[in-house]
Amino acid sequence: MEGKRKVIIDCDPGIDDSLALLLALKSSELEVKGITVVCGNVPTKQGVENTLKVLELTNSLHIPVYFGEENPLIRELVTAQDTHGEDGVGQCFFSKVQGGIVRNGAVDFIIESLGTEDKLSIIALGPLTNLAKALMRDKEVFNNLDELVSMGGSFRSHGNCSPVAEFNYWVDPHGADYVYKNLKKKVHMVGLDVTRKIVLTPNILELINRLGGEVAKYIIDITKFYVDFHWKQEGIIGCVINDPLAVAYFIDRSLCSGFSSYTEVVKDGIAMGQTIVDVEDFWKKQHNSVVLQEVDASKFMYMFLQRLFPESAEVIANIKGVI
Ligand code: BDR
Ligand code: CA
């Protein structure tokens, strides 16, 4: 496994989380040590089921999956089943996966892994509740963390569940705030400014359909509901897929650019969940984040499709006017 970067993926699958997991599991640069599930898009139990489905699809059922927190630190859980479907994967209601390694104790797993693994990173695709709990329990062990990449927040972009707040940080603003304030490393904030530009358009979905096979069918099936939601909610034809960008950025820094800053998460009131990025350095506080602002969406999309469909990589490379 030399040369691979070791990661834990903390997620709340979720349609776009499922696509992010597909990308991670099909990326040879990564060694996924475990997947920890947190409540968010769906209750944790459902998120575990949805994770197993992706592991089955990618022949990765040897990777352990951990049940994480079932509620945000303080707020009551508000899921996004209106966006992702009651089952979190677009009302597909897949049959239960047989096999897999499912364990309790996501928070313990994170702490133990940081204590034993050299250069371990975390890619967080959901609310930061599991990470906040782990950090509260053992701040020291986080000195061993290589990097934290978190899909969440926004800088100049508007919110997606309030005028100013992004879903992951809005669901658990206290968890997010705790992580930003207490982690001694900068959080790589992959927020809505960049993820909003990652859209599976009808053309791209048709391309996926034509590439064919099990993975293509899965993507087409789980995104149908998501596409309908985007049309009704935002007047967009296609769907925004946020989470895979966090995985792609972790692998290839040239996809996004941004800046270092101090960031704070609003914990209550009408701006709950908003990330306040002190880009002008008014507060003179130690920077705790790398805030991403620009993305090469087309480069991302080629990477995403070529990794998910390696057998069609050349066909994809030669496609013009679709991606
Ligand atoms: C985030 O919220 C969730 O619905 C998605 O899975 C993504 O992680 C986008 O705001
Ligand atoms: Ca997510």
Which ligand 1 atom lies nearest to the CA of residue 13?
6
Provide the whole-model pTM. 0.98
Closest ligand to Cα 242: 1
Per the domain annotation, does 322 fall within a domain?
no
Residue pair 65/51 in contact (Cβ under 8 Å)? The answer is yes
Per the domain annotation, does 208 fall within a domain?
yes
Regions of the chain where pLDDT drops below 70: 1-2
Q: Coil, strand, or helix at residue 155? A: coil
Which ligand 1 atom lies nearest to the CA of residue 126?
8
Per the domain annotation, does 193 fall within a domain?
yes
Q: What is the pLDDT of residue 29?
A: 98
Q: What is the pLDDT of residue 157?
A: 97
Number of domains in the chain: 1
Per the domain annotation, does 323 fall within a domain?
no
Per the domain annotation, does 316 fall within a domain?
no
Q: What is the pLDDT of residue 323?
A: 85
- Is any ligand 1 atom within 6 A of the Cβ of residue 15? no
Query: What is the token pair recorded at 198?
Result: 């990652």
Q: Which domain holds residue 245?
A: 5-310
The CATH number covering residue 123 comes to 3.90.245.10
Per the domain annotation, does 304 fall within a domain?
yes
Q: What is the pLDDT of residue 236?
A: 87
Per the domain annotation, does 315 fall within a domain?
no
Whole-number Å distance between alpha carbons of 275 and 182: 16
Helix (H) or strand (E) holding 295: strand 289-295
Q: What is the pLDDT of residue 245?
A: 98
Per the domain annotation, does 319 fall within a domain?
no
- Is any ligand 1 atom within 6 A of the Cβ of residue 165? no
Q: What is the pLDDT of residue 2?
A: 60
- Is any ligand 1 atom within 6 A of the Cβ of residue 44? no
Which ligand 1 atom lies nearest to the CA of residue 41?
4
- Is any ligand 1 atom within 6 A of the Cβ of residue 51? no
Sign of CA dihedral 301, 236, 197, 22: negative
